Structure 1
Amino acid sequence: MDFFELFTNIPQNIVIVSPEYKILAATDAYLKVTMETRENIVGKHFLKEIFVDPAYSYEENPVIKSLDKAWETKEVDYLDVIRYDLPTPDGRIEVRYWEASHTPVLDESGNVKYLIQNTVDVTEREKARQSAAETEHKFQFMAETIPQLIITTDARGEATYFNGRWNKYTGVAKEELTQQNLHKVIHPDDLEKVRASWKKALQEKEAFAMELRIRDKEGHYRWFLNRTLPMCDQAGNILMWVGSSTDIDETRKLVQELVSTNEQMAELADQVQQAYLKAESERKTLERLIMDAPAIFCTLKGPDHKFDLVNQHYQALFPNRELVGKSVAEALPEVIEQGFIGILDNVYQKGEKFVAEEVPIMLDKYDSGKLEEYFLTFIYQPIFNEAAQITGILVFAMEVTDQVNLRQKLQELGQAE
């Protein structure tokens, strides 16, 4: 049996080094993933001549430390995830993340004869983790910026997050703001109703909405409108609940005064105008949030899906086109035959959000007549007015073309092996 041929064809990224850390052998899989040749690396020092990492000095290189530890202890040592980028034949640099183990091979006297490194490319997993962390950071940024009190819970209704405005308004530490401590912030006369309504929403998996009084840090209660909606996966399973509480105390007082005192109509008209200006100011704050958000946002108005708000990241997909005021069909004719107008129509008519991941879409980005393939993960969320009527659609998207292309390339490499 040809053991060398057997070794080189092992479908793992394995390299064998001598006690002096010189490369003795490597599998074909290792050569392929590192884009090296056997002739170029065999006989050379593992990290001084071949895989020199500019991010570390030789002594501080975590790979060397792991090799040294395996050598000294004569036991397998596992290397935590590290980043080591690889140059490609065309001169580019590919970002790569790796995990590795170093296994000592002992002779009959118990001395280390060789060290075997088994390397795993975990780039896709690490990029996915980083992307998830970035998405979480964006959510927290938005939640901490908007003027409402924001809360999230898990699928069972247990609180998982309160934005900073809860502490700023109530004076209660976020660690204490749980369902068990609602009595600290909700008016006693509203507490049982809140609990009953929330229990019903959880059981029936439906949106929760009610007006309630929340105590501020000075001990005064103000009226808030709370809306809590379930976030579901594509199978309809609830992943989490997201709730917002908007201060409606002034508006509520205005309505009560308007009903009770007809003689004050003229004065109340001015107050209503002030309330409107305040609401408009908050709307503009939310508008600025959407426009400045580090993701792709736009709002579509009416059954024709006319662009109403378009942030810079959405506009960057079509730098040479005017979007605002035009319908999607007018501004982006290439998406009609791809079925996106039908999806928007369905969301607008049924009032059900649409979530899609890594969807391919052909776009004429530079308005040159040439279609190019992009991949987007997006949500079409219906927008309702106070009468629960659909007025438009909020579009949130992230371009994931690079991630999809990288995964496809890695899959192609795996098939080639």
Structure 2
Amino acid sequence: MVDFQQVFEHAPVPLMVLDRQLRYVAANRAYLEVTASTLEALMGRCLFDVFPDEPGDSNRHSAEMLRSSLECVLATGRADTLALIPYKVPQRFEHGTQLVDRYWSATHTPLLDERGEVAWVLQHTEDVTELHTLRRAAAVAQMSDERLVGDEHVGTRVLARARRVQQENVLLLRERERLQSLFEQAPGFVCILRGPDHVFDIANAAYRTMVGRQDVIGKPLAHVLPEVVEQGFTALLDSVSTSGHAYVGQAFRVMLERDGVMREFFLDFIYQPIHEADGSVSGVFVQGNDVTDRVLAHKQLLQQQEHLEELVQQRTRELADAEAALRQAQKLEAVGRLTGGIAHDFNNLLQVVSGNLQLLEDNVQDNPAARRRLANASMAVDRGARLASQLLSFGRRQPLQPQAVDVAELVGGMGDMLQRVLGGAIELTVRTGEHLSRAWADPAQMENALLNLAINARDAMQGEGRILIEADNAAIRAEAAAGELPVGDYLRLSLSDDGCGMSSETLAQAFEPFFTTKAEGQGSGLGLSMVYGFAKQSGGHVAIASAPGKGTTVTLYLPRAKASADVVPPAPVVPGAGGSETILVVEDDSQVLTTVVELLGELGYTVLTAGNGEEALAVLASVPSIDLLFTDVMMPGPVKGMMVVDEARKRHPRIAVLHTSGYPREGIIKDGFLNQGVHLLGKPYTREALASALRQLLD
């Protein structure tokens, strides 16, 4: 859309507008230039007060011609033209301003209001002084003796001069329009401010868009942008005008009002003083760019860099912690593998000792001293078996038989036993949350873990203090418990004491097997190791919170049982009776095999033996009827224990299978749990346990 204010302002010919009282309403730059005037000096004043033509002469003819033409337009509503009118106007010279006689051609055009009445008069003037002078010279020449020659010569010069002036005016107009177009389309903001009040003389589209104002020409900066006055911009302009030196601003912050809201901008700009021929500064040329996006992006980049550095530092700490945790886990895993291998051989040895001790019992019924010694030896075997079990638990190689456990019922059922273990000087409190879910865990191992924690707490309090056992539901929505728990739902079981607590160094070694702070002979250092292995093998986690003098809290996280899981009732205890069925015993340890055969013989069974898998397959192929296969899981040679089981079930579909092992692994264990339908009798076992297991399967 055409900006007519711009067209009027930058028209190359003098234009001005008067109201019906012949007072100035507007004047363009060309008019102000030829009359050596300022817009402030003209606005609102009568034309004949500003330019009286010949001051003091009330009968001045030129002023009356001009007034008559203007009044004719106001009266008739038709344009009127003064072909030639002499009129004195001020002109600027090097030595100052003075009134000069000039000749004008003026056209007065009526401007109508919304009612169709003449409200204003537009004056378009042309300075024709030079042309009038040439015409007068031509007239004088015509009166001379060389009238013809002179007339032709003068006429030719006048026409040539007129053509040149016309061509120059056209070129100047085109150049001005081109410069104006370039100025308006400039990508950066540009404006020119004039005078001590910094009045807008020019402002391009980029500037008007930036400040959010369109009507700025002819208005002071403080009126157009009052919010920038207190921000130092007016003082900067004053300084440039006074000193005559440019000012350069980079990423300069400014608050501009947009739609009633103050908004932040950042500008790169230069204030360049405009010097006149006499050296004075008439205004300030302003040019710059809005760099708000760049500055904000840079700030955001710096913030992101700072955040990234924080993340790197945090990640470095996490990696250091993870590396330490990995080293600890690798160490515990290595110890677990070692203890698993040791436990296998150790349990085989205990089985030989235990079995022979039980076989001796019938031979010393009349010897109290011998029975006492056998009892002591049997107690040592039990302690050894518990030690091996704890080693397997730590190494996560203890076969678990998980089920849905009512934790509140389990803890409540242990209350009397725990109180007896803790002693009367320790106050035991149990709290369970509402709507407590069931845990999916091996109840026997869970009881054992809770008992070990209670004993540790008792020893830390030196037999006197308070213990709190709490159980509630926990939902892990992000990494927790040292980052070793996946997101999911858990049953949380914790035991807290107000004992001596642990230092950070002790805490770092708390789960290591055989590490203990107790005096020699007062602890094996396997209690917490067993709890750790049980929790991890169950698919959960265990965490310790402790500080010297502030007690200790050990928290178990165990998976919740599915809603449809039923609580498995404890298996009925079958009396240790014997039988007459045929049993095939497969055992690679000859001493264990001899002991088992004797135990089964005393129970009345018919016993077949095999020292390895190949021998077992041969027996299965040659014997028509076998009631039960009693086989070790770990078997040397190419034929493993489960291969023997598969072949036995093919040849004898109704055969019962009882597994035994000091360290069960392949075949019957998956992810730490017994396979469905597998029956295991762990070494070392007693004669009563063996007899009970056999009758459960055979009956």
Q: TM-score range by the shorter chain?
A: 0.3 to 0.5
Q: Rg bigger for which structure?
A: 2
* Greater per-residue strand proportion: 1
